């Protein structure tokens, strides 16, 4: 039985006191109402708030993730944040290859592979993002695009490394647009990804891999998406910035 994950991706939002307040609200809600026992809750705030977040989450049923990590180990890379630094802050997860990073920061498959390997070497769970553009789906190339994104990056990992990562399927046309994939579209792609993993590694590896859905997932549509057999939770952007909505999404898992 795969544990579900509800991960909030705060992106580049909120000042320090707002981040402090939102974390406090999310943690208080989990303390008061308890989350479903088979659900892991992960909050991914901007990097400058990671220390605050890991301090506040200490001893609580909340895990903390980074939104990005350097593809270099350490040294003269001004402005970068290494996997070792995240490890030293007791960060549990890190998002890798979000479509916004691929688009605005031109992240290559080589960089993404390096980021995943460095995170795993430092005991941090990568949440590897993949997903097609609207044109890809309209041209019926969405399966091929996602297959290539995975094949050119995380399929370079050894089996025991691969078993430690989480995948997030995020159709780019659904991110921040209010257009959610239908539960059927999400299920179809998640089952396809799981079949690719079974072929590359093993049925057992495929069955234990957690595959999240992301893209305009909110308190109204989460339960139906998460009810699908191969949807193991969500990577939530906009709706994770509201404590009440995020709490509802957690309880939908």
Q: Which stretch binds ligand PGA (CB under 6 A): 31-39, 81-89, 107-115, 169-177?
A: 169-177
The torsion of the CA quartet 14, 82, 101, 79, rounded to 10 degrees, works out to 70
Nearer to ligand PGA, 205 or 242 (CB): 242
Query: What DSSP string describes 144-181?
Result: HHHHHHHHTTGGGS-HHHHTT-EEEE--GGGTTTS-PP
Q: Which stretch binds ligand PGA (CB under 6 A): 72-80, 101-109, 137-145, 215-223?
A: 215-223
| Cα(244)–Cα(235) distance, integer angstroms | 16
| Cα(212)–Cα(217) distance, integer angstroms | 11
Q: Which stretch binds ligand PGA (CB under 6 A): 82-90, 136-144, 170-178, 186-194?
A: 170-178
Q: Does 126 bind ligand PGA (CB under 6 A)?
A: no
Site size toward ligand PGA, by CB under 6 A = 13
Nearer to ligand PGA, 111 or 131 (CB): 131
Q: Among residues 98, 122, 142, 190, which one is catalytic?
A: 98
Q: Among residues 122, 170, 190, 224, which one is catalytic?
A: 170
How many degrees, rounded to 5, is the angle at CA 223 between CA 217 and CA 225?
60
Verify whether residue 98 is a known catalytic residue: yes
Q: Does 235 bind ligand PGA (CB under 6 A)?
A: yes
Helix axes 50-57 and 16-33, enclosed angle (nearest 10): 20
| Cα(66)–Cα(253) distance, integer angstroms | 22
Who contacts 78 (Cβ-Cβ below 8 Å, separation ≥6)?
A: none
Footprint on residues 135-154 left by ligand PGA (CB under 6 A): none
Q: Which stretch binds ligand PGA (CB under 6 A): 34-42, 53-61, 140-148, 236-244?
A: 236-244
Indicate the SS3 state at residue 42: strand
Closest CA to 236 of 227, 253, 228: 253
Q: Which of 114, 216, 221, 252 binds ligand PGA (CB under 6 A)?
A: 216
Residue number of the CB closest to ligand PGA reads: 237
Q: Does 83 bind ligand PGA (CB under 6 A)?
A: no
| Cα(127)–Cα(31) distance, integer angstroms | 25
Verify whether residue 170 is a known catalytic residue: yes
Positive or negative, the Cα torsion across 148, 116, 193, 253?
Answer: negative
Q: Which of 45, 46, 65, 215 binds ligand PGA (CB under 6 A)?
A: 215
Footprint on residues 4-63 left by ligand PGA (CB under 6 A): 9
Q: Which of 236, 243, 249, 253 binds ligand PGA (CB under 6 A)?
A: 236
Q: Does 97 bind ligand PGA (CB under 6 A)?
A: no
Q: Contact, 188 vs 229, CB < 8 A?
A: no
Residues carrying an active site annotation: 98, 170
Q: Give the interface with ligand PGA as residue ranges (CB under 6 A).
A: 9, 170, 175-176, 214-217, 235-239
């Amino acid at each position: 039985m795969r544990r579900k994950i509800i991960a909030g991706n705060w992106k580049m939002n909120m000042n320090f006191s707002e981040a402090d307040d939102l974390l406090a609200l999310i943690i208080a809600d989990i303390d008061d109402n308890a989350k479903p026992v088979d659900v892991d809750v992960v909050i991914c705030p901007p990097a400058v708030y990671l220390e605050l977040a890991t301090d506040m989450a200490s001893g609580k049923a909340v895990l903390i993730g980074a939104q990005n990590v350097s593809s270099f180990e350490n040294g003269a890379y001004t402005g970068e944040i290494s996997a070792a630094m995240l490890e030293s802050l007791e960060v549990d997860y890190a998002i890798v290859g979000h479509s916004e990073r691929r688009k605005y920061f031109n992240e290559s498959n080589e960089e993404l592979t390096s980021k995943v390997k460095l995170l795993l070497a430092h005991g941090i769970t990568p949440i590897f993002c993949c997903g097609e553009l609207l044109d890809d789906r309209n041209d019926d190339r969405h399966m091929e695009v996602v297959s290539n994104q995975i094949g050119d990056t995380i399929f370079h990992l050894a089996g025991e490394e691969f078993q430690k990562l989480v995948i997030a399927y995020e159709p780019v046309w659904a991110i921040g647009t209010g257009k959610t994939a239908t539960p059927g579209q999400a299920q179809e792609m998640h089952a396809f990804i799981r079949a690719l993993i079974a072929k590359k590694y093993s049925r057992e590896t495929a069955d234990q891999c957690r595959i999240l859905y992301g893209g305009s997932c909110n308190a109204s549509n989460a339960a139906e998406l998460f009810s699908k057999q191969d949807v193991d939770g969500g990577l939530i952007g906009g709706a994770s910035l509201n404590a009440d909505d995020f709490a509802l999404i957690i309880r939908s898992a």
